[in-house]
Structure 1
Amino acid sequence: MAALIWEDAQAPRVRNTETPTPSLDTVSWKVAPDRELRHLRTLHPSREELQALRQSLGLHQSLLHQLQDPDFAPGAVEFPRQLLVRLNVPETNEEGTLRWERLDVVLTDDAVLTAEARSLRPVEQARARFLRHDPPGGTDRFLAALVEEVVDGFDAIWRTLRKELEGMEAPGPRASAGALVAMGKAQTEMTELLRGLQAARECLAQLAYRGFQRIGKVAAAELLASHDRLKGLTNTVEQVLERISGITEETSSPTEELSAESPEVIDTAIALGERRLHRMTMAHAMTALIGGLAVSFGAVAMAWTAGPWSHVMEHNQVHLLGSLAFPIGFIILLVGKGELFTENFFIPVTGLMSGRGKVRDLLVLWGSTLAFNLVGAVVFAFLVSRPGVIADGAKHFLVQLAHDKVFVPWSTAFMKAVFAGWLMTVLTWLLLAARGQGSRLFIIWMMGFLIAAGHFNHVVISAAEVFMAMGLGAPVSVRQWAWMNFLPALLGNLVGGLVFVTLLGYVQAHSLRRSERRMHDVLRRRGTQH
C-alpha cells in the first residue's frame, strides 16, 4: 500500500511500500478539528494509476470503468457514497481554435479527485480560491467552485468571439469573399461554443436538481447559479448566431447554397455523430418516439389527398397525386427534430469510422431508435384508426397501400428498400451540405416525393402504413408484415444507406483531402526551390 508523507500542503512526498502510487498533486484542508478533506489531482492517469487510486480511495469498480472510458458523455453518475462528474472544459489553442478538454471529478466522503487529460487552468484557479475561504467547506463546495471557473472560461471565450464580431466588416449584397469567409468562420465557432454550452447546462441541471447525496444545499445553490449564468450566455449566443445565419443566407447567392465540399460535410457529420453516439437514453428515446409519430403524418396526408379521387382516377395516378402531399410528414419530422432509424446510417456511422465511438454504442443507438420509431407508429395507427377519423376513400387507399408493400416478392421488397435507404441517407448528406432554409425544405420535399412515388420500402414508414391499414381492417397479419416487409426493408435500408452513401462519401472525402495535401506539398516544394 502506498502512503503519502506530508511535508507541506503543496508538496507531498510519496513513499512506496507495497504497490506503486500514482504521481499525485495533493492538497488537504481542515473542515473540523477532527476532520480533514483532500484534493487529489492526477494528469492523464494510466490504468495502473487508476487501480492504485481505487485502492487508496475505495473507488467503486463501475466508477473506475467510467474513468477509463474516454467516450463517457458529459454528465453525472452516482455510485454508493461516491459521485462522478464529467465536464468538457473549453480551451483555445495558439491559433485561437476552440477545443474541449475532458475533466473528471470524483467526490467521496473525505476527498475530491480530479483526473485531467492535461493541466487545466480552471482546476488550478478553483483550488487556489477555494483554499482562501475559512473554513473552505466540503468537497461539494470545491466542485461548485470548479464549475464556476469553467463557466468563467465559457464567458471569456464568448467575449473574445464578440470582439472579433465587432471588428468584422458587415457583409452586404456585394460583400467581399474575405468578409464572407470571416463571418462563416465566426458562425462555425459560435455553433461549436453553443454545443459545449448545451452539454454543460445539461450536466449542471442534473447536479442542481437531482439531489445527489454528495451535493449539499449550499453547493446546489451555487451550482444552480452557475447553471443560470450558462443559460443566459446560451440565449445570447443563440440570438447572435441566428442574426449571423440570417446575414449569411441573405448575402449568399443561390449557387452558393449547396457549396459545402465533401470533407466539410464529413467533418460536420463526425462532430454530430460523436454526440449522437453518447446521447442520454431517455432524451434519445423520446426523439425516436416523436420521429415515429411525425413520419406517420406523411402516410395520412397522402391518403387524405389521394382518397377522394380513388373512384375517378386510376390507382397509379391517385398514388402519384398523394405522393405530392407525402413529404409533409418529413417536414414535421425534420423541422420538429424527430429522428428516424435510417437517419443514423450516416452521421453516427461516420463518427464511428473516425474513432469517436464504439460498435456497441452504434448498435444500441440503432436498436433503440428503431424500437421507439415502431412504438410511435403503433400509437399513431391506433389513434388514427378510431371510428370517424379517416374517410372511406382514404381508408381504401391505405389498405391498398399496405397490400402493395406486403404482398410483393421478397427480392422486390429488398431492392425497393435499398433505394429507400439510399435516398434517406442522401437526404441527411444534403441537409448537412445545404446553406439556406429554402433549399433545405425543397430537399426534404424532393426526397419525400421520390420515396412515396417510387413505392420504395422504408422500414419505419412502411410499418406505419401497414399498422394503420391493419387498424382499419386490412387482411394483413403481424407475421406477414414481419417476414415479407419488415425484414427485407431493414436489410435493404442498411445496404442502401451504408454502402451507397456513407462508405462512398467517406472514401470520397478522404481522397479529396489526400489530393489537397499532395497539391500543397508540391506547391510548397516549388516555393522552396524558387
Structure 2
Amino acid sequence: MAFHSSQHIAELAVEAGSKKAKMRPEHVLLLGFLGGAFIALGFLLDIRVIANLPKEWGSFSSLLGGAVFPVGLMLIIIAGGELLTGNMMALPIAVLAKRATLGQLVRNWLLVLVSNFIGAIFVAYFFGHILGLTETGPFLTKTVAIAEAKMDETFIQSVISAIGCNWLVCLGVWLAYGADDIGGKILAIWFPIMGFVAIGFQHVVANMFVIPAAIFAGHFTWADYLANFVPVVIGNAIGGGVFVALIYWMVHKESLQTRTQAEPSIRKAG
C-alpha cells in the first residue's frame, strides 16, 4: 500500500487549504453542515456502543468507543465535508505558503464553525432528543457523564486537552492526504482518531453534539456550554495550526516556497 513522503503531504495540504480558501460560501456551509453531522453521528455511535458495557471493563470501553468514532472523519474525508478542526491545519499551512490570505482563513473558519454547529445540533436534537437515542437508560447516563467530564475541566486543562486532540485529528487528516486509495485513507484516519477519543481529549465539534445532547435532556445550560467552547476552540486551533501546520511548514518551507513561486500569485483581496 503506497504512501506519499512528508514533503509531498505538505504540498498536498497546501493545495487542499488553497482550494478550501477559494470555495464558494454556500458550498462551505453545505459541506460544513455535513461535517458537523458526521462527527456527531460518530459520537452517537460511540455512546450507543459503550453505554451498556459492564463497569468491570474499565478503560477497554473507551477503546471500543474510540474504535467506532472515526467513522465521522472517514465520511468527511472520503464522502466530502468541511470540518473546523481539520481546517485549523489546512488553512494555516496554505497561508504560510502564501497560497491563501488571512482573510480567507478567517472567513472559512467562521463559516465552517457555524455550519458544523448546525449539523451537530441537528443530530443531537433529532436523533438524540426526538428519537431518544441519548435520553433513555444507560445512554442518557453516559451522555451526561461525558458532557459533565468535559465541562468539569478548568480553562487551562480544556485548552491543553484540546491541543492534544487536534494534534491527533490533524495528523489523521495529514496521514489521509498521504494515501491515494480508500483503504489507506481509512487506516490513516482510524488510529489517530481512535487515540484521541480513547484518551478523552476535547474536540470542539464533538462537544457541539454531546453537550447540547445533555442540555436537550434537561442537564446543564448553554452558559455551561459556552464556558467549555471558548478554551476548546482555542486549544484546537493551537493543536492544528501550530503543532501540525507550522511545524511541518518550517521543515518543508523551502520546497513549498519554491512550488509557490511557480504558481500564479493569489489575489490580495479576502
TM-score category, normalised to shorter length? 0.7 to 0.9
> Secondary structure of 2:201's match?
coil
Range with bigger deviation, 442-451 or 281-290: 442-451
Structure 2 residue aligned with 1:454: 199
Which one-letter code corresponds to 2:67 in the other structure?
A: L
8 Å Cα contact 1:262/1:508 also seen in 2: no
CA displacement 1:206-259 (0-9 Å, x = unmatched): xxxxxxxxxxxxxxxxxxxxxxxxxxxxxxxxxxxxxxxxxxxxxxxx4xx22x
Residues 1:357 and 2:106 are matched in the alignment:
no
Aligned-pair CA distance for 1:335: 2.2
1-side partners of 2:133 and 2:46: how far apart?
15
1-side partners of 2:86 and 2:249: how far apart?
16
2-side partners of 1:419 and 1:392: how far apart?
32
Match of 2:87 among 344, 348, 362: 344
* TM-score, normalised with respect to structure 1: 0.46
Structure whose residues are more often helix by fraction: 2
Aligned-pair CA distance for 1:378: 1.2
* TM-score, normalised with respect to structure 2: 0.87
Which one-letter code corresponds to 1:267 in the other structure?
A: E
CA change 1:512–1:388 in 2 (3 A) is closer
Which one-letter code corresponds to 1:445 in the other structure?
A: W
Match of 2:216 among 471, 493, 512: 471
- Gaps spanning 5+ residues in structure 1: where? 1-253, 515-530
Match of 2:76 among 325, 333, 341: 333
* 4+ residue runs over 4 A deviation: 511-514
Map 1:47-126 → 2, pairs under 5 A: none
2-side partners of 1:333 and 1:297: how far apart?
12
Aligned-pair CA distance for 1:343: 1.3
Aligned-pair CA distance for 1:418: 0.4
Residues 1:295 and 2:16 are matched in the alignment:
no
2-side partners of 1:419 and 1:387: how far apart?
33
Which one-letter code corresponds to 1:454 in the other structure?
A: I
CA displacement 1:304-330 (0-9 Å, x = unmatched): 1111225x5365443333222222222
8 Å Cα contact 2:36/2:83 also seen in 1: yes
Structure 1 residue aligned with 2:53: 309
2-side partners of 1:358 and 1:429: how far apart?
21
CA change 1:439–1:262 in 2 (3 A) is same
Residues 1:321 and 2:64 are matched in the alignment:
yes
CA displacement 1:7-61 (0-9 Å, x = unmatched): xxxxxxxxxxxxxxxxxxxxxxxxxxxxxxxxxxxxxxxxxxxxxxxxxxxxxxx
CA change 1:322–1:285 in 2 (3 A) is same
Q: How many residues align?
A: 255
Range with bigger deviation, 427-436 or 284-293: 427-436
1-side partners of 2:140 and 2:195: how far apart?
23
8 Å Cα contact 1:296/1:461 also seen in 2: yes
Structure 2 residue aligned with 1:489: 232
Structure 2 residue aligned with 1:418: 163
Map 1:223-302 → 2, pairs under 5 A: 254=1, 257-258=2-3, 260-302=4-46
Residues 1:438 and 2:183 are matched in the alignment:
yes
> Secondary structure of 2:180's match?
coil
Which one-letter code corresponds to 1:396 in the other structure?
A: T
- Gaps spanning 5+ residues in structure 2: where? 258-270
Structure 1 residue aligned with 2:261: none
2-side partners of 1:482 and 1:422: how far apart?
22
8 Å Cα contact 2:32/2:83 also seen in 1: yes
Paired-residue identity, %: 22
2-side partners of 1:355 and 1:348: how far apart?
10
The higher radius of gyration belongs to 1
CA change 1:393–1:501 in 2 (3 A) is same
Map 1:132-147 → 2, pairs under 5 A: none
Map 1:366-445 → 2, pairs under 5 A: 366-384=109-127, 385-390=129-134, 391-445=136-190
Structure whose residues are more often strand by fraction: 1
RMSD, aligned α-carbons: 2.0
2-side partners of 1:365 and 1:490: how far apart?
15
CA change 1:333–1:455 in 2 (3 A) is same
